[in-house]
């Protein structure tokens, strides 16, 4: 699976949009981009995933560049409860039982 690079930490004001970048320059054509987050002392929580089109769900939006070498997770109106470590993961396929390999992630701190 391709390697990802994320900034170690980011700050965001409550109510503002949080834009979390991820570089995956070695991504191959059949690899998807997944985002998970982990709130302190809890198991990770799935947020969103995509292949090449932008995706949106009730939690967030995922913007993938045309060359697919980077992506951005957008939390449109960050709340204090969005403070967590956010992991960007690239892996093959969106079916089956391939393992997820976590990088170091971005620690997002949402402040009042």
| Residues at the interface with another protein (CB under 8 A) | 32, 34, 38, 41-46, 49, 87, 93-95, 97, 99-105
Which residues, in sequence order, are CB contacts of 96 under 8 Å at separation 6+?
none
**Residue 17 or 92 with smaller CB distance to another protein:** 92
Beta carbons of 85 and 106 less than 8 angstroms apart: yes
- Taking the complex as a whole, how short is the minimal distance between the CB of residue 65 and another protein, in angstroms? 21
- Taking the complex as a whole, how short is the minimal distance between the CB of residue 44 and another protein, in angstroms? 5
- DSSP state at residue 82: G
**Residue 17 or 101 with smaller CB distance to another protein:** 101
- Taking the complex as a whole, how short is the minimal distance between the CB of residue 15 and another protein, in angstroms? 26
**Cα gap 20→17, rounded to integer Å:** 10
- Taking the complex as a whole, how short is the minimal distance between the CB of residue 100 and another protein, in angstroms? 6
């Amino acid at each position: 699976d391709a390697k990802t690079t994320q900034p170690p930490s980011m700050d965001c004001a409550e109510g503002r949009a949080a834009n979390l970048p991820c570089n995956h320059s070695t991504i191959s054509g059949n690899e998807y981009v997944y985002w998970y987050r982990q709130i302190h002392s809890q198991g990770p929580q799935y947020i969103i995933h995509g292949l090449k089109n932008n995706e949106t769900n009730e939690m967030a939006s995922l913007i993938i560049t045309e060359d697919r070498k980077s992506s951005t997770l957008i939390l449109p109106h960050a709340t204090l409860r969005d403070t967590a470590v956010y992991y960007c993961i690239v892996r093959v396929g969106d079916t089956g039982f391939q393992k997820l390999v976590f990088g170091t992630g971005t620690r997002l701190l949402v402040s009042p």
